[in-house]
Amino acid sequence: MSPLSAVDDSKSPHPVHLTIVYLLLLAVAVGVFFLIRSFGEGFARTIAEPIAGASVPVAKKANLHSTLPQVLLAIVTIMVTARVIGTVFQKLGQPRVIGEVIAGIVLGPSLLGRISPEVTTFLLPSTVMPTLGVLAQIGVILYMFLVGLELNSELLRQRAHTTVAISHASIMVPFLLGAALALAAYSRYAPEGVTFTSFALFLGIAMAITAFPVLARILTDMKMERTELGVVALSCAAADDVTAWCLLAFVVGVTQSDLQGAVVTIVLATAYIGVMFVVVRPRLHAWLESTKGKRLSNTMAAWVLIAVLVSALITEAIGIHAIFGAFLLGAIIPHDSELATSFRHKLEDIVSILLLPMFFAFTGARTQIGLLSQPIDWLFCGVIIFVATLGKFGGTLVAARFTGLNWRTSAALGILMNTRGLMELIVLNIGLDMGVISPPLFAMMVLMALVTTIATTPILERLTPARNPVAPPIEG
C-alpha cells in the first residue's frame, strides 16, 4: 500500500457519522466565534491616532495615447524581473511562482521604491496601475480555467466525503484562530472606525484562505497534479476557497451592513454550481463526443473562451469572484479530452509568462514592508505566521486522519493546504480597498503568505520522496 495513495477503508468513518461530526464542529465554531466577538466588542481602543500609511493613493486618469508607452514599459519591466528572479528561485528548488511574487515586492515601495523612488515612478507610474490590474485579473481568470482543466473529476467523486470534511476543517480552525488573534491586533492594527466584528471576521477569513492557483502551480511544477494526493489537495483547496469566498461575501455584507445580500450570494453560488454540474456538464460532454476526433477550430476555441468569460462574469456578479466561474467551467470539461489538451497548449505560455506575473507586481506595489518599523510589529508578524500555519496544518492533519488517510498523506495534505499566495493576496487587496485592514497589517499578511508558500516545496519533498512524475509541469 503506497504511503501517498493509501486510504484505509476499514478506518474510514460512515458518511452519516461524518455528517454528524461536521455539523457539531460547525456549531462549536459558530459558538466560539460569538464568544470571541463578545470579548472583542467590549475592548476600548488603546490608540486613537490613525495608523501610519492608512491611506492608499488613487491613480490619476490618463488618456490612452500617453499611457500606452508607460504600460508597455511596465509590462516589459515586470516580465524581465519576474523571469530573472523566478529562475533564481527555481535553481534554489522553489517553484518559479515564488520568485514572481518576490519580483512584485522588489518592484514596489518595499525595495526599489525605497532605494530609488524616481526609478519606480518611471518604470511603474501610478497611471498604469489600473490597466495592469485589469490585465492581472484576466490572467488569473484564464489560469484558473487551466487549473480546472487539470482536475480529474472521477477521482474527485471517489473522494467527495474526504474533500468536504478536510476542506471545511481547514477553514474552521484557522478562521477561529484568526478571530482570536484579532483580540490582540484590533487596538493597534485596525483602521479607525472599523468595528471589532468586521475586523475579526476579515482576519479569520484571511487566515482560512488556501492559495488555490499557487497550490496548483506548485503541484504542476512538482509533477504531482494528477497523483491521488494532488487531486485530493486541489479538490480540498477548491472547496475550501469557494466556501471561503462565500464567507467573504458574508463578511463584506456585515462590513457594509448588507446581510441580506450576503445570504443571496451564498444561495446563488450554490445554485450556479448545481446548474453547471447537473445541466451544463452532461450537454458539454455530449457535444465533446460529437466532435471527437475533430481538430479544435478557431470558431470552437472562440466559443469556449466566450463561455469562460461569461461564467467568470456570472460568478463575479454573484459575488464569489470571477476566477471561480472560470475554474468551474474548466472543471466540468474532461481533463483528458482533446479540448482540454488543446487549450492547455494554447494558453499556458501566454498566461504564465505574460499575464500572471502582473498580479504579483500589482500586489507588490501596494505592499509597504517599511511600515513595520518597530520590533513589536515584526514580533506580531511572526505570531501571524505561526497561528496561520498551526490552524491550516493542524486542522487539515486531524481531519485527514479522521477520514482514513494515513499520517504521511495527512501531513503532506496539511502542508499543501497551508500554501497561500495568490488567493491570499486577492483577499488582502479587498480588505485594504475596503479599509478593514491597515497597510501595516496588509504587509504582515503578505509576508505570511510568502513564508507559508516558500515552506511548502522543501517540506513536501521530504514527505513525498517516492512520488512518480506523471505529467509535465506548467512552465512559468
Q: Confirm whether 53 is domain-assigned.
A: no
DSSP string, 445-472: HHHHHHHHHHTHHHHHHHH-TT----S-
pLDDT of residue 466: 52
pTM here is 0.70
Tell me what pLDDT residue 474 has: 35
- Three cell numbers, residue 139: 490572467
Overall average pLDDT of the 15-22 stretch:
69
The rounded mean pLDDT for the chain is 78
User: For 292-307, what is each residue's pLDDT tens digit?
Assistant: 777 777 888 888 899 9
Query: Is the residue at 43 inside a domain?
Result: no
Query: Per-residue confidence at 253, pLDDT binned at 50, 70, 90?
Result: low
The pLDDT value given to residue 180: 92
C-alpha 91/C-alpha 386 separation (Å) is: 27
pLDDT more than 70, % of the chain: 81
Domain membership flag for residue 419: yes
How many structural domains compose the chain?
Answer: 1
Highest averaged pLDDT of the listed ranges 95-109, 147-161, 446-460: 446-460
Q: Is residue 57 part of a domain?
A: no
In a domain, 2, yes or no: no
Residue 100 included in any domain? yes
CA distance 148 to 152: 9
Segments forming the whole domain that contains residue 323? 65-463
Report yes or no on 235 lying in a domain: yes
Extract the C-alpha cell encoding 95: 517553484
Residue pointed to by grid coordinates 511548502: 456
User: Is residue 31 in some structural domain?
Assistant: no
Say what the pLDDT of residue 264 is: 81
The CA-based dihedral angle spanning residues 379, 178, 13, 229, taken in that order and rounded to the nearest 10 degrees: -60
Of 31-40, 322-331, 375-384, the poorest mean pLDDT is in 31-40
Is residue 139 scored above 70 in pLDDT? yes
Over the stretch 111-120, which tens digit does the pLDDT of each residue have?
Answer: 888 888 888 8
Q: Reply yes or no on whether the pLDDT at 386 is more than 90.
A: yes
The whole-angstrom separation of Cα 10 and Cα 322 is 41
Read off the pLDDT of each residue in 180-187 and give the average, rounded to a whole number: 90
Q: What is the CATH number of the domain that holds 82?
A: 1.20.1530.20
Mean pLDDT of 415-441: 81
User: Does residue 201 surpass a pLDDT of 80?
Assistant: yes
